[in-house]
Amino acid sequence: MSTSHELVRQARHGDVVTVHFNDPGRLNAMTRDMGEAFRDTVAELATDESLRAVVITGEGRAFSAGGDLVMLQEQADLGAAAPGRAWRGIRDTMSSFYRLFLSVRDLPCPTIAALNGHAIGAGFCVALGCDFRYTANEAKLGLNFTRLGVHPGMAATWNLPRLVGPALAAELLYTSRIIDGEEALRVGLANRAMPRESVLAEAQATAAEIAENAPLAVRAVKQALRRSESSSIEDQLQFEASEQAKHFESKDAQEGIAAVREKRDPSFEGR
């Protein structure tokens, strides 16, 4: 089953949905219209309790070339026309723009970014907001904000150090260096790198593998990983124990244990 929007398209296969940025003629440049369509798509998917994983990718030869240059020029012109006076409006405009695309973090199920091609600037920031990334070997990836003369946005300075450490994050952000998919794999920005034609199928296969596991447990793992960003180990232990106690009450736990004993694959229902 598939549904489409002018700028965002989604297709469902079983319990997995693939969301496509759908403006290939402009290398999926990120506009407010695309962001609003993406946010609405995420909001719809977030309420679907049957959904077990989401793959994010781009139509055509790029994942996303980044923020729309027309929009960026408009903000620069506003700032130049009224220095010291326009910054509050620009701040609010950009902050709301970030949140449209970072709504991907609101999905309660795992998310995989399938970087079928270049992911630059804000486009790469969306990929960093997913749980993990598969990339084409030849994809160009990077956060080129300082090359454009602006500070990084869309949580670049929050996500990147957590993935590659503060020193490498500083180097990449200061230099605006663009790396390829193979280097992204080496430094921990991607889980796998492969030929372009394999990226989407491999991401969807992993999403299907996730979908075979107990959805209540998988969604709780996502919550646990998210909260661990600011939790102590004692707080995290209590959360884990509480979640395990809930899941031991589920039919999924009975099914999972029975499947191990009976040497068969489990069939989870999410209850």
pLDDT digits (tens, 9 = 90+) for 48-103: 999 999 999 999 999 999 988 898 899 888 888 998 888 899 899 999 999 999 99
Q: Is 222 left (phi over 0), alpha (psi -120 to 50) or beta?
A: alpha
Q: For residue 21, what is the enclosing H or E element? A: strand 16-21
Q: Does position 207 have pLDDT exceeding 90, yes or no?
A: yes
pLDDT digits (tens, 9 = 90+) for 117-164: 999 999 999 999 999 999 999 999 999 999 999 999 999 999 999 999
Six token digits for residue 129: 């907001």
pLDDT at 34: 96
Pairwise CA distance, residues 122 & 250, whole Å: 40
pLDDT at 2: 44
Is residue 55 within 8 A of residue 114, CB to CB? The reply is yes
Amino acid at the residue 174: Y
Residue 31 pLDDT class (50, 70, 90 cuts): very high
pLDDT digits (tens, 9 = 90+) for 39-49: 999 999 999 99
Which residues, at least 6 apart from 105, have a Cβ–Cβ distance to it below 8 Å?
129, 226
Write the CA distances from 271 to 33, 143, 212, integer angstroms.
37, 41, 14
Phi, psi of 130 (to 5 degrees): -80, 165
Tokens 């798509």, residue located: 41
Residue 5 pLDDT class (50, 70, 90 cuts): low
Q: Could you tell me what percentage of the chain is helix, strand and coil, using 3-state DSSP and rounding each to the nearest 5?
A: 55, 20, 30
Out of 150-164, 191-205, 246-260, which region has the weakest mean confidence (pLDDT)? 246-260
pLDDT at 1: 45
pLDDT at 269: 85
**Which class in CATH covers the domain with range 2-211?**
alpha beta
Q: Which fold has domain 215-261?
A: Lyase 2-enoyl-coa Hydratase; Chain  A, domain 2 (1.10.12)
Cα angle vertex 245, ends 243, 248, to 5°? 110
Residue 33 pLDDT class (50, 70, 90 cuts): very high
Q: Does position 23 have pLDDT exceeding 50, yes or no?
A: yes
Residue 12 pLDDT class (50, 70, 90 cuts): very high
Phi, psi of 91 (to 5 degrees): -55, -50
Pairwise CA distance, residues 179 & 182, whole Å: 8
Is residue 138 within 8 A of residue 116, CB to CB? The reply is no
In this prediction the pTM is 0.93
pLDDT digits (tens, 9 = 90+) for 222-251: 999 999 988 999 998 898 888 889 888 888
Q: Where are the domains of the chain?
A: 2-211, 215-261
Is residue 218 within 8 A of residue 210, CB to CB? The reply is yes
Q: Does position 4 have pLDDT exceeding 90, yes or no?
A: no
